[in-house]
Chain A
Amino acid sequence: MEHMWTREIFWNVGADKKIVVYCLAVIALGFFSYGIYRRYFLWRKVSRNKGRISFDALGKRVRSLIIDGLFQRRLLREYYPGLMHAFILWGFFVLFLGTLTIALQEDITSPLMGVSFLKGYFYLLYKLTLNIAGLLAMAGILMALVRRYIIRPDRLSRSAEQGVILIWILIILVTGFMLEGLRIYSLKNSWEVWSIGGWIVSEILSRLNAQDFSVLYLHKVLWWAHLIISFGFLAYIPFSRLIHLVTSPANIFINAPTSQAVLSPIVNFDASGSFGVSTVKDFTPRQIFDFDACTQCGRCQDNCPAYISEKPLSPKKVIEELKARWLETGELMKEGNGVEGKRGGENDGLLDEDVIWSCTLCMACAESCPVYISSFEKIMELRRSLVLMKSTFFPEIATFFRDVETFGDTFGRGRAFREDWAIGIDVKKISDGNQADILYWVGCQGTFHDRNNLIAGTLAQLFKAAGADFGILGKEEYCCGDPMRRIGNEYLFQKTAQRNIELLGRLNFNKIVTYCPHCFNTLKNEYPQFGAHFDVIHYTEFLRDLIRAGNLKITKNMEKRVAYHDPCYLARANDIYNVPREILKSIPGMRLVEPERAKRKTFCCGAGGGHMWMREIPGKKMNEVRVKEIMNGQPEIITTSCPYCLIMFEDGVKSLGLEGIKCLDVCEIIRDAL
């Protein structure tokens, strides 16, 4: 009886209706194409910049598409919403493949080759798979409804459209199962138990003792309803949030090779030019496409330290608001109104300045976005416009810029004091005639801050103890440029970078070791934008190597609970989080406690993005929020490997009145353990 395990595709409807179905399909596809075409105009034409989709690093793009698109890696970092979405996606993906399979048989293999493969064991497997997929999708939808309307997490908004979409999908699924159930009920084939969903419906029908005639009639009606609703769904995609079915995977493909740790350079400084973004038209098409890829899932908001600290910034709202401006501008342009319309045109205040300055450039939003949107990148563009075009920023920032311009460091102390931290340590200086294996880049914090300069000294002493051949630039060292760039002064950053690149290019050394993760990221990842490729490592990597090689021998026991905080620019930007842990674990007796947000998911200390030199923006203090979170693990010592984080935590520990909690740099712990 094996050959009987199949079904008639147009059962009860009649194969002659095929033409009608295909007409409807063509109409739906027409709507779909028209919608995408309209959208395409908005994607490409609103921007005054030319955008070209690049296909370099194709492997990375495809890999990202598979991992984060198909397998939903980033989404599944959160179980409930992750599984919820994955169920719907995978369910529909399989159902879609199933429908394609039918089309393949009915329109290609069967009429052309006389081959029907949807039968026998394959058919049973096919039905089982599709039924499971349908049930998963239904479970996903129900989870989504419960989450959005009953659990109501803060990050989700509730609009009519979202409800419509969920119910629509649910109706498609339910009508699908009902159709199958009605068919099974009237054909009464026991092997159709493999179609779990349909079988359940047919069981219900038999309990109800349904009449054959009404069953057939209902089937016919539902069949057409299901068809129309499904095609309608297809047509609706480009006109709703469902467009993310197209834009989100496309965005993953487009943005996959973009490193969040590197800001895009302004390439042409021309007096008549415009820098940064002051209207949506200044965004590139790629950036605009981000707006349309956003599904408002709110993961960025949930991970944003500014939002969590009750600052006036939500990375999700940033994208939403910019998207609204973009659509307004686009509609006005379509109507031929030019762009000088009331809101969408050339105006100030795409976002409130408080929002723009709340960002610490910690990159958590981009890291958490399932579809590779970077909210901070947009904020950065707006900052550039404020700084470079309007010169609108807090006066303390102007003081900061002047300090760097005049004195070459972020503290405004001057090169005369650059070597003071090393007094009594006897460190070699690398100069035109004097080389060393390692160039120790101390950074302004290590050089001038009265707590961090002790750490800079400790590092130098550890390097000496390990017998490393290293030297410093001494008075020739200069700010690396990171804070200026992340405040938005790209011009000052590039001038600074060029000065440093010229100097470093002249000197003889093999590797640069930095104390500060910000210098590290800038020298390693951003200087290459200007043609300078140095071998840069962070001191934690260097110490790890020295310990591994036995040049530094850990001898002491330390019975302590220690929490390690990952600096954003080490962990998130450069994937260095195992190295410091490895160092700390090499100390006998040490108990490492992990903060809730750790490694790539770490939480900003509050000093990034220029906030070290900026007033506190209303809200909670970010460093206190983080210290509290770290303290949940009840550590005795909070350790980190970034001068900014350390100052912020020392301050947080003080202001929270935590007695006896020490804040130490990783290298200080190593020193104590030698």
Chain B
Amino acid sequence: MKVIVFVKQIKYVYAQTGIDPKQNFIGPDDIVHIMNPLDELALEETLRVKEKHRDTEIVVISLGDGFAEDGLRKCLSMGADRAIHIYDADYGKLDAWMTAMVLAYSIRNQEFKLIFCGRRAIDDNGGLVGPYIAEILRIPHVSRVVKLEIDGGRSKVLVHRAVERGNREVMECTVPALFTIEKGINIPRYPTLPGILRAQKQVIQRMEIRDLELPLKSFGPALNLTETISLSNPKPKKRSGGLADATVSASDRLRLMMGGGDTETKGDSTLVEGSTDNVLSEIERVFRESGILPE
């Protein structure tokens, strides 16, 4: 039984310590390359499938530039059987639809039972590639899966789908099918040392996009359905913070640095005391915003 896992190595902006507003305050030290956390959960789930169904072959596929190999290497160290890197030197230019086209066509002629991927990537916050792949391959898919069980005959899969407020929709889905994995389904394993060492020597199969026989005359970002034209800083939320707090907005940070590290800044948060009416009206506002009280 072949199981495909699509993983994404993302450039995650974890801080904004740069000083150039044109770069949205993103400095060279503010980016880390990590595997999309939900994709890691997706891989973990396939590894658990394999623990129950020993004849499973796990193939991980990643579209990306050179960094994609790091992610694939990690998948191998965790226990994936094979890794395929679809090389894209210009990574990041394709939109969700084109990405899905590439990924779908990379496995179009393969016999697979299940496909897993993360529900969304935390860098672009899309949540579209998985469903698109399923649609292109004309197979069913279930999103936000937090529990998964393959029935004995391997003809269908039982899943729990996470919906609002922790509720679950229970569904059955025929195979082959695609599942997008939501957090909470498992805790991904940390690779064993023999796993890490073995993965360092394993061969990662490399494919070029042009080898995929896409049903398109030309190929490239020109065929994107959507395009990101710019990035900007959101308006700072009403919140203050200490210096080492990653939630401090870039502008606040700049102000603090210029001011020589005034950690005593009280900021803009609302602090109420004394008057009970004041407290209650503030709490009421928060409760209405959060849906505890009707708006």
Contacts and interface: CB of A to CB of B under 8 A. Distances in A.
Q: Do A and B bind each other?
A: yes
B29 A475 contact: yes
Interface in A79-107: none
Contact of B194 (A273, A397, A417, A450): A273
B193 A275 contact: yes
A423 interface: yes
Interface in A415-462: 415-417, 420-421, 423-424, 448, 450, 453
Interface in B160-204: 187-198, 200-201
Given A391-B191, A491-B196, A420 B246 contact: no
A420 B27 contact: no
A413 B244 contact: yes
Interface stretch (A32-40, A182-190, A264-272, A323-331): A264-272
Contact of A417 (B17, B188, B195): B17
B260 interface: yes
B261 A423 contact: yes
B289 interface: no
A413 B190 CA distance: 20
A416 B253 CA distance: 12
Contact of B187 (A395, A401, A424): A395
Interface residues of B, number: 30
B243 A423 contact: yes
A389 interface: yes
Contacts of A395: 187
Interface in A379-414: 388-391, 393, 395, 397-398, 401-402, 406-407, 413-414
Contacts of B196: 491
Nearest to B257: A423
Contact of B29 (A402, A414, A424, A448): A414
B30 interface: yes
Contacts, number: 71
Given A416-B14, A416-B29, A271 B189 contact: no
Contacts of A273: 194
B198 A390 contact: no
Contact of A450 (B27, B190, B192, B244): B244
Query: What interface size band does chain A fall in?
Result: 20 to 34
Interface in B24-66: 27, 29-30, 32, 34
B137 interface: no
Contacts of B127: none
B193 A389 contact: yes
B8 to A, nearest CB: 15
B243 A398 contact: no
Contacts of A413: 244, 246
Interface in B222-262: 242-244, 246, 256-257, 260-261
Nearest to A454: B263
Contacts of A420: 243-244, 261
A238 to B, nearest CB: 40
Given A388-B192, A414-B15, A414-B32, A398 B198 contact: no
Contacts of B191: 391
B197 A269 contact: yes
Per CB-CB distance, the 7 closest pairs between chain A and chain B, nearest first, are A423-B261, A424-B261, A271-B197, A424-B260, A416-B15, A388-B193, A416-B29
Interface of B: 14-15, 17, 27, 29-30, 32, 34, 187-198, 200-201, 242-244, 246, 256-257, 260-261
Given A388-B192, A388-B193, 15 more contacts: A271-B194, A271-B197, A389-B192, A391-B192, A391-B195, A393-B190, A398-B187, A398-B190, A402-B190, A406-B34, A413-B246, A414-B32, A420-B244, A420-B261, A448-B244
16 contacts: A269-B197, A275-B193, A388-B192, A391-B190, A391-B192, A397-B190, A398-B187, A407-B32, A413-B244, A416-B15, A416-B27, A417-B15, A417-B246, A420-B243, A423-B256, A450-B244
Interface of A: 269-273, 275, 388-391, 393, 395, 397-398, 401-402, 406-407, 413-417, 420-421, 423-424, 448, 450, 453, 475, 491
